[in-house]
Amino acid sequence: MTISPDAFTFVRELVRAESAIVLDPGKEYLVQSRLVSLARTAGHRDVDAFVRELSTRRNPATLRLVVEALTTNETSWFRDSDPFTALRESVFPTLAETRPHRQIRVWAAACSSGQEPYSILMTAQDTPELTGWKVDMLATDLSQEMLDRARSGLYSQLEVNRGLPATTLVRHFERAGLSWRISPALSSQVQFRQLNLMRPFPPMERFDVVFLRNVLIYFDLATKQDILRRVRQVMAPDGHLFLGAAEMTMGVDDAWERVPAGSSSVYRIREEHRSCVS
């Protein structure tokens, strides 16, 4: 059964208002599949009945669950691999030459269940130039449920099988029953915080590296421009921004330039715009 047009309209307007994510027509199946478990938990026979009650009563907690269900992104360890190779072979060594205090700050935005920030930290440990360095990691997401999962550092066998080499698993995880738990040495380096990218950022220190991957594709042009402008304001002038393979700043925010990083590429603030963030 497919969600009705009225129910789909209510959900897409709710998600747009709360997260700026655009659910275009054609995403009815996605909405149906993401909400069916919430509907059943609430005792409804189908998603339409669940949404009808929600639109009438507008329970804040349930509204939040709906938004989180529709904004949780797919993730895996070392996703797409090239960005992490670029970190290890190009970006981290470059930063090591210019950071006299032997400290690097990284922000993993839209971190989902935590695989990305932990993958970044593992990559830092595999970078010889950062031996003995401190890497401070801020990991944020809209979903409190995802943040709680990430903070726990607990992953099923199926989850660790997705992109995690066996040698890396042995080095950085401990057995926890039928699951695996990230080592305290890594988890202690991460600060998890709830953050909605479409709203003003809280006070932040400058970041040397920002991962904003596979996020901008869900927003309209004005929201993309606003987010990229605010990211510039929390970046070190010579910082590095990672976007998803299908994302770019060209035609969105020309204050950024795309530069090579090993076999991959990253985005950096153009020289003429760096004085605005220094």
Listed in sequence order, the residues at least 6 apart from 140 whose beta carbon sits closer than 8 Å to its beta carbon are 107, 108, 109, 110, 111, 147, 192, 193, 194, 195
Residue 90 DSSP symbol: I
Report the alpha-carbon distance of residue 111 to residue 133 in Å, rounded: 23
Catalytic residue among 12, 34, 88, 232: 34
Report the alpha-carbon distance of residue 91 to residue 15 in Å, rounded: 35
Residue 141 designated active-site: yes
Report the alpha-carbon distance of residue 40 to residue 18 in Å, rounded: 23
- DSSP strand E in 59-153: where? 103-108, 134-141
Q: Could you tell me the two tokens for 77?
A: 């360890």
The rounded radius of gyration (Å) of the Cα atoms in the chain is 20
Assess contact for 116 and 75: CB atoms under 8 A: yes
Listed in sequence order, the residues at least 6 apart from 203 whose beta carbon sits closer than 8 Å to its beta carbon are none
Assess contact for 49 and 1: CB atoms under 8 A: no
Catalytic residue among 12, 105, 141, 213: 141
Tell me which H or E stretch contains 72.
none
Residue 175 designated active-site: no
Residue type, 77: W
Listed in sequence order, the residues at least 6 apart from 266 whose beta carbon sits closer than 8 Å to its beta carbon are 86, 91, 240, 241, 242, 258, 259
Residues labelled as active-site residues: 34, 141
